[in-house]
Structure 1
């Protein structure tokens, strides 16, 4: 059983998606479903990576697909709290720069 959880929280004008555990091929479909729903629900999707321990190419692909879907709708996907190896993967692939980050204070609505 995969060690992964994706939770969503709706805010004013945004949806926050918190990813926990390991985001890999085993959870690709779940990630896509959660991000697609979030993109359809709000113009800004904030993906909180603070509790994510592992991110592989499947997870990176899911983030890019969500970014493209949001962009096509005039919206945006942004990241918050990337750290450790997850931040390294986002840096190496350029996805961190592509999506950009928001401060946790802004993500919280402050």
Structure 2
């Protein structure tokens, strides 16, 4: 399965939409994109609605993104988390750590 990263830029936040499987092979690409988004100083939303699988390296990348966002005082949310991805986050109890939105917000739409 192919993996894709799409960045949507809005006035008040960036949405990084991921699709495919996040594993050891693609985690470095996700990390690089997250660092670039966080370097912008805007709130970052990671849209996982099209992610079918995530392994421990992918989870670690998301945790690193959250930690960096907190250090910078930037909002960091996950959205569209379901199925296997939610099971993995719940197993690690990270569903209690991340701010998770049920569905992605429109780029340009403020925090609700």
TM-score by length of 1: 0.90
Number of matched residues? 108
**Is 1:101 matched with 2:100?**
yes
Alpha-carbon distance, 1:103 to partner: 4.6
Higher RCO (CA < 8 A, seq sep 6+) = 2
Cα distance in 2 between the residues matched to 1:103 and 1:11: 19
Residue by residue over 1:1-46, the C-alpha shift from the partner in whole angstroms, topping out at 9 and shown as x without a partner, is x621111101122100011000000012101001111111133110
Contact 1:70 1:77 (8 Å CA) reproduced: yes
Over 6 Å off, 4+ runs: none
- Structure 2 CA distance, aligned partners of 1:103 and 1:92? 18
Unmatched tracts of structure 1, length 5 or more: none
Tell me the TM-score normalized by structure 2: 0.88
Cα RMSD, aligned residues only: 1.6
**Where in structure 2 are there 5+ consecutive unaligned residues?**
none
